[in-house]
Amino acid sequence: MKQISIHQFSMIYSLLVMCIVGVLGAISFISFKEFTLEQANRDQMQDLSIKAQGISHTVGFYQEIVRQLSVQDEVKNIVMFSGVQAAQEWAAVTQKLLPESIGLALFDGDGNVLGQPAELSLGSMCLADMEALLSGQQVTHPAVHAETAGKQHFDVTENIMEDGEVVGIIFASFSLRTMQHELDRMVSEGEQLSIMSNTGMLVAQSGVLGNNSYEIKERFPISGSDWYLQAIVDEQDLQDVLITHAIIGIVLLVTISAVFYYFSCRLVQIFSDDFDAVLKLLKLVRDNRNAGVKIRSRLLETKGVVQEIRNIAEDISGYQQHLIDYSVTDDLTGLFNRRAFYQEMIRFMDLAGRDEDIVVVTLDLDHLKQINDSLGHETGDQLLIQFANTLRARCRETDYCARVGGDEFWVVLVKCTEDQMESWYRDLAKDFQARQRDALGLSSGDQLCGVSAGYTSIKKDEMETKNVLKRADEALYRVKSAGRGNIQGFNE
């Protein structure tokens, strides 16, 4: 077998590593190119989806205006009892209050307009749409009319209900300028956005394109309507990004190769020095002159330093874990604290968004202050500890409970419906009563600490933790106002 020196072996190894780094660099460049294109396309789709949601909010704003008008008692009385003159006067006054309003009218339960169509700004196309709607035909929602210059608009209708029956219809027209302004506000450079109705009619359009552009095939529906958002965008120029990435890759390849070669040479030198030291020691042993001679190996010293660092790192890790545990737990009860609860709520909000039944419960101990005053704060602390133990016993591993201050506790129950809350609360309260007597040696005549609770379910589209807790707190407040020692839900 041909023998080679450490230096020769280091050179061969360095060249091999340089080749591997070069291949990995080429693969990285190709992967980066594909990833950049895919990420840019994904970001574009997400951006257009967000813009469609923004338009949906605008459409919903005008639909909500009409809905609010439809539930007013004044409107119901006009449709049912007041007649044509009152309806037309009401429409004339109210239209002036509606933003970007072109027309406003009331129809009775039989579909007859209450007033003069011309004075109410009802065109023939609007009346035709109303007839089609009343006859059960499919109508674009909201209907769009762009036939008359300067009066392009969309229509919004809402049934007027009384005792579960339709007693009339409220009809409103709003200028398409609202949609145009919305598109002008959100359109980006190199992008043309169009709002289209389901019949292919152009509602609004904004944006200027360059020479190289293409139409995005995906249509982005605008919720609350039959409209959709359509986009034409310029080709994305990634040449500069790819060239920059290639240059950085080459510089890194050269730098890594140079650094690796330098350290390889240094490692060869360290090995050579250690081998020379071992050879010197062997010579001393051979000559019987090794007594008291100390031979130091830099590699062994490095190993000792690394081991010491590892020991220190393990100590630091233990201290860090202790600090983490201290920052998220309550000192008295050992439950999680308010900070930990808010952090964990992010996960539960995500589970609720995936149709998981999640219930948040706010609990408060009744008469704890009186017990503190009569039996002492030490007894009060023991009651808090016993209640925490009760929660642990009544909550599953998937559930979450925390003490958030004083005698207030928050609990999250997973896969728990509102129908199961009454039973859960009764078992909890009963268990807590028994634990108080057993742990504190209380007699049947001593006053026991009760529990009041309020709960709410996390909605699928819930985004804010504070809204969930606000509903649960409202339910708890109602329980306390009604006499305490009970549970109540709140999901409005």
Residue 313: pLDDT above 70? no
Measure the CA–CA gap between 363 and 454, rounded to whole angstroms. Answer: 7
Highest mean pLDDT among 34-43, 148-157, 223-232, 305-314: 223-232
Residue 386: exposed, middle, or buried by beta-carbon count in 10 A (0-12, 13-18, 19+)? buried
Measure the CA–CA gap between 245 and 205, rounded to whole angstroms. Answer: 37
**CATH, domain range 338-489:** 3.30.70.270
Which tops the pLDDT comparison, 303 or 420? 420
Measure the CA–CA gap between 27 and 245, rounded to whole angstroms. Answer: 12
Per-domain residue ranges of the chain: 71-175, 338-489
pTM: 0.46
Q: What are all long-range contacts of 249-255, with beta carbons under 8 Å and residues at least 24 apart? A: 249/25, 249/28, 249/29, 250/25, 252/25, 253/18, 253/21, 253/22, 253/25
Residue 462: pLDDT above 70? yes
| Nearest CA-CA partner of 231 in 223, 240, 222, 239 | 222
Task: Summarize pLDDT for 389-404 with one digit per residue, the tens.
Answer: 999 999 999 999 999 9
Bridge pairing between strands 450-457 and 487-489:
parallel
Measure the CA–CA gap between 151 and 101, rounded to whole angstroms. Answer: 10
Instruction: Give the phi and the psi of residue 173 in degrees, each rounded to 5.
Output: -115, 135
In this prediction, residue 467 has a pLDDT band, given cuts at 50, 70 and 90, of very high
Residue 203: pLDDT above 80? yes
Average pLDDT, the chain: 83
Which residues on neighbouring strands pair with residue 488, listed in sequence order? 454
Which two three-digit tokens encode residue 87?
Answer: 């309806």
Instruction: Give the phi and the psi of residue 351 in degrees, each rounded to 5.
Output: -65, -40
Measure the CA–CA gap between 402 and 409, rounded to whole angstroms. Answer: 6
Topology annotation, domain 71-175: Beta-Lactamase (3.30.450)
* List of residues 6+ apart from 148 with CB closer than 8 A: 123
Peptide bond into 142 cis (omega under 30): yes
Which two three-digit tokens encode residue 196?
Answer: 């289209």
Which tops the pLDDT comparison, 139 or 293? 139
In this prediction, residue 302 has a pLDDT band, given cuts at 50, 70 and 90, of very low
| Nearest CA-CA partner of 357 in 315, 279, 420 | 420
Residue 308: pLDDT above 70? no
Distances (CA, A) of 233 to 42, 46, 48, 239: 14, 14, 11, 17
State residue 321's pLDDT score.
64
Token match 């009604």: residue?
A: 482
The 10 Å Cβ neighbour count of residue 482 is 11
In this prediction, residue 366 has a pLDDT band, given cuts at 50, 70 and 90, of very high
Measure the CA–CA gap between 204 and 153, rounded to whole angstroms. Answer: 11
- Over residues 45-60, the mean pLDDT reads 91
Task: Summarize pLDDT for 99-134 with one digit per residue, the tens.
Answer: 888 889 999 888 889 988 888 888 888 888 888 887
**Among the listed ranges 7-11, 161-165, 183-187, 256-260, which one has the minimum average pLDDT value?**
7-11
- Exposed e or buried b per residue across 190-204, where buried means at least 16 C-beta atoms within 10 angstroms of its C-beta: bbbbbbbbeeeeebb
